[in-house]
Amino acid sequence: MGMLDVMYRRCTPPPLPLYAAAAAQMARHTAAYTLESLLDLTSVLAKARMESAALSIMESLSHRAVKNITSLSGEQIADLVESFALLGVEAPELFDAVARRVSAEPQQFSSKELSVLMWSYANMVISKPVMFTAVAEYAVTSQLAFDLADLNKLLWAYASMGIKAPNLYTAAATQAVMHEIEGKADSKSRHLASQLYNLAADLTRTFR
């Protein structure tokens, strides 16, 4: 998480004119800024749904990210893809490069990052069965733990893309039950856990 992202989360209201001005400056001189700086600002612009400002730097960001995909962290890749998905911006080369990286090295990503990535691809309706299968197998064999929000994103992504992953759905159902039984959640969260259990159970039966 970059400095601008921290500022966006902490400031109420966030300084949107400042972000727009920064985007305009970066758009004029993209070569003068690091990939990390472009990514940080784009992430904030996407969360604020500042599409016009973000579009001015996203093409350059995409090209540079593809060239440097192996050097980016799991968090940076998740933030990058999520930004494009939030704004509905197509970037085929970027999504292809990220899918190859995730398929080859799912262990380089946290459960939160994987859920964000799967949600992003599903939101863009980008079919990458090899990646979805690799992530499902890794999540099951490594017994990855997901919080309720991440579990919700993950299940929605696999369900909406019609991915056959019964072992993942069984594991997700178990995690949903545990979230409910442990009693750490409030009533709203317990209700979500119950819904996720029902969804995971239905998916298990459907894709058995």
- DSSP structure class, residue 196: H
Q: Measure the CA–CA gap between 171 and 110, rounded to whole angstroms.
A: 17
Q: What is the pTM of this model?
A: 0.87
pLDDT digits (tens, 9 = 90+) for 35-82: 999 999 999 899 888 899 999 999 999 999 999 999 999 999 999 999
76 closest CA partner among 116, 26, 32? 116
**Cβ proximity of 164 and 129 under 8 Å:** no
Ranges 1-5, 40-44, 70-74, 169-173: which has the least confidence:
1-5
The CA distance from 79 to 82, in Å, is 5
